[in-house]
Structure 1
Amino acid sequence: MNFEEIKDKKPQKVGEFLDKAENGENYIIKLSEDKIYEVAPIAYYIWAMCDGEKTVNQIVDEVSKEANIEFDQLKDPISAVLDQLQQASLITL
């Protein structure tokens, strides 16, 4: 999934945040009674931004400003995280 293909899509998170993992770093997201995922902080941060209102372009822009990292440096990594979240059914695009 590349940025140009998804930049205007508005991802919507699926599931609910439960708690931080025992290691104190990762986050637990519950999709259903038998599907619970542990995700890295950056994946959780991006998942939490998927409100169905913001486009992928806006998410990258917001992360770019907050992290003080060039927009173009974030397009591919954030697209990859969104792809993994979609494969795990944690977002819909």
Structure 2
Amino acid sequence: MNRIYKSDIHVHSKYSNKPTIWALKKINCPESYTSPEFIYKSAQKMGMDYVTITDHNTIQGALEIAHLPGVFISTEVTAYFPGSTKFCVGKFS
């Protein structure tokens, strides 16, 4: 039987310090204050097989824990289009 592997692929750390959510932008509040180490330990406690951090437009959080078992590098990229207030978000692992 094939095994199903678990990973949360939408997690922000303290390195997501430039919010994309309008309400957080308005008050200049980061999307997370959580350290990468705490995210890793929490994911392990929840039984995740793999851990990644998808901070906005940076891989700094993922790099901080990259040496630990089961970690892979990811980011959440925001792209703004000229003449539009909408944006596109993509996750890259």
Task: Determine if the TM-score, normalized by the shorter chain, exceeds 0.5.
Answer: no
TM-score when scaled to structure 1? 0.31
Instruction: Name the structure with the higher helix share.
Output: 1
Give the number of the structure whose alpha-carbon radius of gyration is greater: 2
Instruction: Name the structure with the higher strand share.
Output: 1
TM-score when scaled to structure 2? 0.31
Q: Higher RCO, 1 or 2 (CA under 8 Å, sep at least 6)?
A: 1
